[in-house]
Structure 1
Amino acid sequence: MAQQTVRQTIKQVKPILSLDKEEARKRVVSLYKAWFRQLPYIVKQYDMPKSVEQLRDRLREEFNKHQDIKDVRIVDMLVIKGQMELMETVNMWKQKGHMMAYFKDTWEPKPKDFLSKFLSGKD
């Protein structure tokens, strides 16, 4: 009984863009190539103090961050978001601060000893 319910649920799920993993992989590679080709123009348009190589390293990090995702629907959603980001970046709908935020460490460890807490202004 439970297996039939699972099978019916699986059949009801429709793909977003890709029908199988290979097609999703092709979309990811295509998105990566599109970003890779646009990076020199992005550096010039935004007058970024980073080199093209640094941007390529950061691009590789972003794609490698999601390499363990196997669900085709999630991969398709990430590809759609990546395409939207690329379009916003190329059309200069972002500002330089938005682009530089990709190079900022988002997590700073909290100070643990007394002196570090005192210097950072934390209790």
Structure 2
Amino acid sequence: MSASRQHQAFRVRELYRDWYRSAPEICALYALNVSPNVVRAAIRRQFEANLHIEDAGAIERLILKGRQSYQETMNCWMQEPHIMGILLKPQLQQPRTFMQKFLEGRDEEAVIPAAST
């Protein structure tokens, strides 16, 4: 393993460690109704999704994007729906098919008619 590859691996481990250790603080900052272990599992899934990447440039971009996302999260620049969408929704939400979306339709009784003149 080359020196630059070792340095990248170190930076990835460091980023993962920062995210992992901050899980309780993230739950408290955003008042999430999930435990820190659920957040940690979601973080691990995000990192494992990119294990197959070999290109040094792509790895570098992912490290920078991960660090930026971490800083934005810890500075409270994200909102609770962002956190839930980024970390937790892919695991919890089943994708809907076209037919399911079509059959859900629109609730006609919830629509307020325009005022008549």
Q: TM-score, normalised by structure 2?
A: 0.76
Q: Which aligned pairs between 1:1-123 and structure 2 lie closer than 5 A?
A: 20-102=4-86, 103-105=88-90, 108-111=95-98, 119-121=103-105
CA distance in 2, matches of 1:86, 1:117: 34
What is the CA distance between 1:119 and its match in structure 2? Answer: 3.0
Q: Could you tell me the percent identity over the aligned residues?
A: 31
What is the CA distance between 1:108 and its match in structure 2? Answer: 1.7
Evaluate the alpha carbon distance shift between residue 64 and residue 117 of structure 1 in structure 2; reply closer, same or farther with a 3 A threshold. closer
SS in 2 for 1:104: helix
Q: Which amino acid letter does the alignment assign opposite residue 19 of structure 2?
A: W
What is the CA distance between 1:19 and its match in structure 2? Answer: 5.8
**Which residue does 1:8 correspond to in 2?**
none
Report how many residues are paired: 102
Q: Which amino acid letter does the alignment assign opposite residue 89 of structure 2?
A: K
Using CA pairs below 8 Å that are at least 6 residues apart, which structure has the higher relative contact order?
1
Evaluate the alpha carbon distance shift between residue 111 and residue 33 of structure 1 in structure 2; reply closer, same or farther with a 3 A threshold. same
Unaligned runs of 5+ in 1: 1-17
Q: TM-score, normalised by structure 1?
A: 0.73
Q: Which amino acid letter does the alignment assign opposite residue 47 of structure 2?
A: F
Evaluate the alpha carbon distance shift between residue 86 and residue 117 of structure 1 in structure 2; reply closer, same or farther with a 3 A threshold. closer
CA distance in 1, matches of 2:28, 2:101: 41
Question: Deviation above 6 Å: which 4+ runs of structure 1?
Answer: none
CA distance in 2, matches of 1:33, 1:117: 39
Evaluate the alpha carbon distance shift between residue 52 and residue 117 of structure 1 in structure 2; reply closer, same or farther with a 3 A threshold. closer
